[in-house]
Structure 1
């Protein structure tokens, strides 16, 4: 996949390097030439430009980029302006960092797809999440095993865990499910709220577009998610 990361501070540099290590094409962008120089050998490309300048941003290969990540942290104004520019450019998927609740609310109101919190360890978790298509969130236990949240696909709708037999097919355990319901933030913008349903059992029924929390080896989780993608695209059979 192809990523553009805007802002190459501690968080932006960390997630850029992690995504590049996973075999993705990563373009890092920062107004600071010193930050560009520090990372240019570790990712695909590193570019110095002002991401709040629409004309400058037009030089980026946005049309064939899968995900744009706004990693700017220290300058909240620049963060919001860069996100606004990317929204105007109609990028495929826009993710932005937020350092406080108000900034998060503003970004949600602007229609930013997903919000990242600024903890250093989040860079690894988000790199893992972004590298697996269909993942809502993830937590890496070690280099091989993870706990992953993913939306329940249509083919699992109204089926029990026992019926699906995921443990035998993929060697993956469903730990719990989460019901997703509409909610509103402080400015009245529509968002989604997830409620945990307790420990999953064999007779737990799954519902499409809710979330299931999986535990297993990374390669098995990736295999399961790829099966979901094939089913959705009509390639099974």
Structure 2
């Protein structure tokens, strides 16, 4: 997994979840909010927790945001700040920008301002966004319970030709992760057999413990 530098702006429930999860899976995270309590709550859980006004272009420049790979605008209730921050980040040349939207109109406006990906987060969506961003071959991630999740991903070429049992992804192998579904072109294989061989282009839906899913995701780069 290539380490990314990610700036997360707005540290409410969604932003904090994105920031913590990205840091846990090995990325450098600059977490920004103008609320000191929100910033302090992430001390030790992100790389750089900073109290700052993200609508201040000079402050963003001083923090070196233009050098980051990705920015996540997770500002919640303040639409004006959300839109202005998006404009400033695009002006500073951030290559990839994810923005949180409150509704369809807000989302459409963010897209027109240059957001590359607009999300409408609820609940554990922050964890899902972080995993999808953190690993390039991870297409989706869903929290299903404490310490358990479901991930949709492509496996690297070295798995091609292996059986699911050999890859440690068989339901019958009693491992802590298992493939529930394989999408192969236009075909879908539900509950695949342990002797099913992995083919190039296969997309897997895998369930299991977060710790094991993260190890699998880390190989999928």
Going from structure 1 to structure 2, the CA distance change for 1:167 and 1:69 (only over 3 Å counts) comes to farther
Aligned residue in 2 for 1:25:
28
Q: Structure 1: where are the runs of 5+ without partners?
A: 180-195, 230-237
How many Å apart are 1:211 and its aligned residue? Answer: 5.4
Deviations 1:199-235 (A, max 9, x none): 5467999785x95433345565555555553xxxxxx
Cα RMSD (Å) of the superposition? 3.6
Equivalent residues in 2 for 1:119-198 (5 A)?
Answer: 119-142=122-145, 145-150=148-153, 152=154, 165-171=163-169, 172-177=178-183
- 2:113 corresponds in structure 1 to 110
For residues 169 and 118 of structure 1, do their structure 2 counterparts lie closer, same or farther at Cα, with a shift above 3 Å needed? closer
Q: Is the 8 A contact 1:173 1:216 kept in 2?
A: no
Give the C-alpha shift of residue 128 in structure 1: 3.6
Structure 2: segments with no counterpart, 5+ residues: 170-177
- What TM-score do the two structures reach when normalised by structure 2? 0.71
SS of 1:68's partner is strand
Q: 1:77 to 1:63 in 2, by over 3 A?
A: closer
Gap change, CA 1:222 and 1:60, over 3 Å in 2: same
Residues 12, 71 of structure 1: 8 Å contact kept = yes
8 Å contact kept, 2:9–2:73: yes
- Bigger CA drift: 73-82 or 44-53? 44-53
Distance 1:107 1:48, change over 3 A: same
Secondary structure at the counterpart of residue 120 of structure 1: coil
> How many residues matched?
206
Cα separation, 2, equivalents of 1:41 and 1:225: 24
Q: Assess if the C-alpha contact under 8 Å between 2:66 and 2:89 holds in 1.
A: no
In the TM superposition, what is the alpha-carbon distance from 1:90 to its structure 2 partner?
2.3
Structure 1 residues 87-141: Cα deviation after superposition (integer angstroms, max 9, x where no partner): 2222233211111111222223334222232313222333343443422220133
